[in-house]
């Protein structure tokens, strides 16, 4: 599998060949730049179509990286490590309990693989909600619920 097959976000942005996509840039920022570049109004037909494709690419990127099974110890341990949980628990139950103590933005989680930035974690739900809303990084509930692992990371925003 080549890098293009692995980079679902890159494939999404490649459709817009006049747009200069930077894979090191946070995905929400790149999407906002794309919308501005093409002059789409929020919630216009073109923007909705692009947003739907972008959200699908995000979900596909997550699944490509981590899968969808929230009952696999090795995957849960990877998530714990990305969140900065140390020491990493050695059972499924203890991994899940450790992860549930934190709120992480799914956009940031996905972006961290490309940008190398650590995943920002919150212990306070309100601070997480404010960060998520203020930065336009609300992951679509419908997309998250179609993947058990994403659903496990999903937190209420509104």
DSSP string, 32-86: HHHHHHHTPPTTSHHHHHHHHHHHHHHHHHHHHHH-S-TT-HHHHHHHHHHHT-S
- pTM value > 0.75: yes
List the chain domain ranges.
Answer: 3-153
- φ/ψ (deg, to 5) at 84: 95, 20
Strand partners, 104: 121
CB atoms within 10 A of CB 109: 22
**What does 14-34 look like in DSSP terms, one character per residue?**
HTSTTS---TTS-HHHHHHHH
Burial of 17 (0-12, 13-18, 19+ CB in 10 A): exposed
Task: Return per-residue pLDDT of the chain as tens, 158 residues.
Answer: 444 456 899 999 999 999 999 999 999 999 999 999 999 999 999 999 999 999 999 999 999 999 999 999 999 999 999 999 999 999 999 999 999 999 999 999 999 988 889 999 999 999 999 999 999 999 988 888 889 999 889 998 87
Whole-number pLDDT of residue 1: 42
Q: What sign for the dihedral angle of Cα 37, 42, 47, 51?
A: positive
pLDDT of residue 6: 62
């Amino acid at each position: 599998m080549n890098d293009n097959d692995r980079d679902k976000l890159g494939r999404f942005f490649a459709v817009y060949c006049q747009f200069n996509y930077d894979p090191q840039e946070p995905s929400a920022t790149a999407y906002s730049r794309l919308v501005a570049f093409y002059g789409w109004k929020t919630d216009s037909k073109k923007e909705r179509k692009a947003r739907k494709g972008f959200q699908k690419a995000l979900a596909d990127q997550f699944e490509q990286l981590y899968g969808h099974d929230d009952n696999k110890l090795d995957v849960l341990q990877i998530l714990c490590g990305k969140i900065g949980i140390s020491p990493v628990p050695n059972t499924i139950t203890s991994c899940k309990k450790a992860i549930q103590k934190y709120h992480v933005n799914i956009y940031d989680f996905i972006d961290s693989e490309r940008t190398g930035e650590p995943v920002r974690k919150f212990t306070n739900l309100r601070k997480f909600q404010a960060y998520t809303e203020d930065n336009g990084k609300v992951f679509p509930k419908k997309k998250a619920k179609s993947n058990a692992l994403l659903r496990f990371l999903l937190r209420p925003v509104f």
